[in-house]
Amino acid sequence: MKRNDPCWCGSGKKYKKCHLDFDARLAELDLNISLSQIRPTHDLIYNAREIEAIKKAAVINSGALDLIDKLIKPGLDTLSLDSAVHDYIVEHGGHPSCLGFEGFPNSICTSINNVVCHGIPSKDEILQAGDIVNVDITTDLDGYFADASRMYIVGGKTTPEAERLVKITREIMEEGIRAVKPWHFVGDVGAACGAMAHANGYSVVTILGGHGVGREFHTAPFVSHDCAANTGMLLVPGMVITVEPMINAGVKDVVTDEDDKWTVRTADGSLSAQWEKTVLITENGTEVLAS
> In terms of residue numbers, what domain contains 91?
37-290
What pLDDT is stored for residue 234 in this prediction?
98
Among 234, 244, 232, smallest CA distance to 272 is for 244
Banded pLDDT at 83 (limits 50, 70, 90): very high
Q: How many domains does the chain have?
A: 1
For residue range 47-78, list pLDDT tens digits in order.
Answer: 999 999 999 999 999 999 999 999 999 999 99
Domain assignment of residue 112, yes or no? yes
What pLDDT is stored for residue 247 in this prediction?
99
Q: How far apart are CA 272 and CA 132, in angstroms?
A: 9
Q: How far apart are CA 225 and CA 190, in angstroms?
A: 4
Domain assignment of residue 67, yes or no? yes
Domain assignment of residue 28, yes or no? no
For residue range 127-145, list pLDDT tens digits in order.
Answer: 999 999 999 999 999 999 9
Domain assignment of residue 13, yes or no? no
User: What percent of the chain is modeled with pLDDT above 70?
Assistant: 100
Banded pLDDT at 22 (limits 50, 70, 90): very high
Q: How far apart are CA 110 and CA 134, in angstroms?
A: 6
For residue range 248-262, list pLDDT tens digits in order.
Answer: 999 999 999 999 999
What pLDDT is stored for residue 285 in this prediction?
95
Among 276, 282, 17, smallest CA distance to 148 is for 276
Whether 191 contacts 228, CB under 8 Å:
yes
Domain assignment of residue 16, yes or no? no
Q: How far apart are CA 243 and CA 245, in angstroms?
A: 6
What pLDDT is stored for residue 187 in this prediction?
98
Query: What mean pLDDT do residues 179-204 have?
Result: 98
User: Full-prediction pTM beyond 0.85?
Assistant: yes
Q: How far is CA 234 from CA 45, 66, 185, in A?
A: 12, 33, 4
**Residue 239 neighbours by CB distance under 10 Å:** 25
What's the CATH code of the domain at 274? Answer: 3.90.230.10
What pLDDT is stored for residue 242 in this prediction?
98
Whether 68 contacts 135, CB under 8 Å:
yes
Backbone angles phi, psi at 116, to 5 degrees: -75, -45
Domain assignment of residue 83, yes or no? yes
Domain assignment of residue 265, yes or no? yes
Q: How far is CA 210 from CA 53, 125, 157, 199, in A?
A: 21, 27, 29, 21
Banded pLDDT at 231 (limits 50, 70, 90): very high
Domain assignment of residue 4, yes or no? no
Its sign, for the CA torsion 65, 66, 67, 69, is positive
